[in-house]
Amino acid sequence: MKRSTLALLGSLGFLSAARELQRGRSVILTYHGVLSGDDDAYNYLNYNFVAAGTFEQQIQYLLRHYRPIRLADLVRSYRNNTPPPARSVALTFDDGFANNCSVAFPILQKYGFPFTIFLTTGMLESPGAQLWSERVKRAVYLCPRESVVLPILGRDIQCQLESPGARERATRRVLHMLKRSPPAERNAALLIIESACGRPELTARELERYEFLTWAQVRTMASAGVEFGSHTVHHPILSTLDEPALRDELVASKRRIEAEIGQDCYAFAYPNGQPGDFGVREKRALQAAGYSCGLSLGGTLNPARPDPFELDRINIGRQFEGPVYQAAVTGVLGTLRTMRRNLLARRPAAKSPDGQVRRC
């Protein structure tokens, strides 16, 4: 929905009314990172990262209209079948970027706002490490050519890169294909993509965006009351893993976090967190590994008695400002997006031309 329409809904009091109607449903928000840089640094690659000033305004909005709650307390309420306080909001971060400590942490400390960070443990203490998905994004989006053919997953994928919009569409297409691929196939495709497009070195300006936390930073924040959960070791989508690999990702990350901070790692966030990324098998694996809950990214609010292993969260990115942010937090935006997806799913599928070459 367009920003102007959401602004109109806000001015008419619709978003305030929606917030009141949803007061019995908890809100769990997900951020990935907070950056102190200038706005011109916010291109597609920074989609999931918000500016520090915007982040502080959003925290102030939450404090005016919601009741911050520790994730542990929210999960305890649900597992005990007792309703959490009205308008409860829990704040989380995924992946474990260093800016969670250097930029976001001081702001949240200033307001006494509790939060939880879900760590991709294999990335910590690994200089220059990047998530596989980030490597794909940087390779395709920053490719110095105006078009490239990627022979991956048994197909020749032709990507047009003549404009920022075309680069974004191509990057999203390639990333979407790889997300559902088994890790071995995905990793092989990643090497082909980087061979064809290049693997750009990180600039000094990008370090705040891409660097991961150190365990020393994790321990410092943990001693100040910050909670830490698991986001796997290597950030695979769980449904692409076989049983041994699934168990290893869940158990190894949990044990490493507990060993580093001396606290129980009770919470897990599903990488990508969309329908199809996890199911009954994955939820059972979480329970077997000793987790108390699993968090998804469906973009909706949580009902009075949710499944503890399918707690939903709302992802907040750089475009979530003003009325868009309010519409997201109240659940209005998620509802509208779900309606749109359902309508599109009912449309007849478009026929693709024959041949191996597919356009991004």
- Domain definitions of the chain by residue range: 3-128+206-346, 132-201
For domain 3-128+206-346, the question of CATH label 3.30.460.10 is answered with: no
**Taking residues 144-153, what's their average pLDDT?**
96
In this prediction, residue 348 carries a pLDDT of 67
In this prediction, residue 1 carries a pLDDT of 56
Measured in whole angstroms, how far is the alpha carbon of residue 354 from the centre of its chain? Answer: 35
Alpha-carbon distance 100 to 224, whole Å? 14
Give 343's pLDDT tier (boundaries 50, 70, 90). confident
**Taking residues 324-346, what's their average pLDDT?**
77
pLDDT tens digit sequence for 179-207: 989 999 999 999 999 999 999 989 888 89
**Taking residues 142-151, what's their average pLDDT?**
96
What is the residue-averaged pLDDT of the chain? 90
Q: Environment class of residue 305 by beta-carbon count within 10 Å: exposed (0-12), middle (13-18) or buried (19+)?
A: exposed
User: Residue 30's closest CA among 328, 337, 232, 314?
Assistant: 314
Alpha-carbon distance 225 to 90, whole Å? 14
In this prediction, residue 177 carries a pLDDT of 93
Handedness of CA 264, 123, 74, 250 (dihedral sign): negative
In this prediction, residue 358 carries a pLDDT of 46
